[in-house]
Structure 1
Amino acid sequence: MKSPRERIIEITFQLFARQGYNSTGINQIISEAEVARASFYQYFKSKEDLCVEFLKVRHEYWFGELNTFLTKEKDSTSKIIKAFDFLIYMNEKENFRGCSFLNILSEIPMDNTKILKVIQSHKADLRNFF
């Protein structure tokens, strides 16, 4: 059985993908994750903190899946070509509704440096990969 924190993150992914960041409220996340309000605030001080953690978890998951997908590839050229197959694989696996990072970026004010730094870090890691 998943922990309350895991359920919150999982539901957050679903809701942010379906409704967007701004249209998803904490009360809905608490309700759909079936956690107590106190449990939510034990793990996350705010929706912004939840978003930062969600993006960090998403980053780790995405790169973990990418690296697993590419483990059999020996050389750099093969890895790069196979990375495009990975994008197709992930898009089908998750019923792609846009990049989580770019979707949230389009909804936050540019002065939200807490979330912006996580998004920029993810994109920098992606550039460095290629």
Structure 2
Amino acid sequence: MSNRNPGSSLECKVPQYKACYWVWLSSRNILSQKPSSKLYFKQLGIFRIDISMGKDFYLLILLKDLSCIHPVFHKSLLLPFLDPASFPVCIYSELLVDNPHWNHTFRKKMMLKQY
């Protein structure tokens, strides 16, 4: 049997951030002027982390428009920003070039979907 706290497994899922990392900020606790929260962005940003304020809190460099918000946030409100250039090339484009049979089958399916 383990002597861990039940909540300790949740802590592992939140990454540790460092200064100069780029993150999205959850808009969960930020009030907006929109009539419905469904019409507002789920995440704001991207923002750069200025410094770590202890183990779980981070100081973000916010835009001037958000200067009315305190710039220190808990790590659970931050999501890591992934640069789109770091994603792999589309698999479908590689298959179309390398495999003429698959290319023919794919074109047939696309033609059927047009009608």
TM-score calculated relative to the size of structure 2: 0.22
TM-score calculated relative to the size of structure 1: 0.20
More strand by proportion, 1 or 2? 2
More helix by proportion, 1 or 2? 1
Higher relative contact order (CA 8 A, sep 6+): 1
Q: Quick check: which has more Rg, 1 or 2?
A: 2
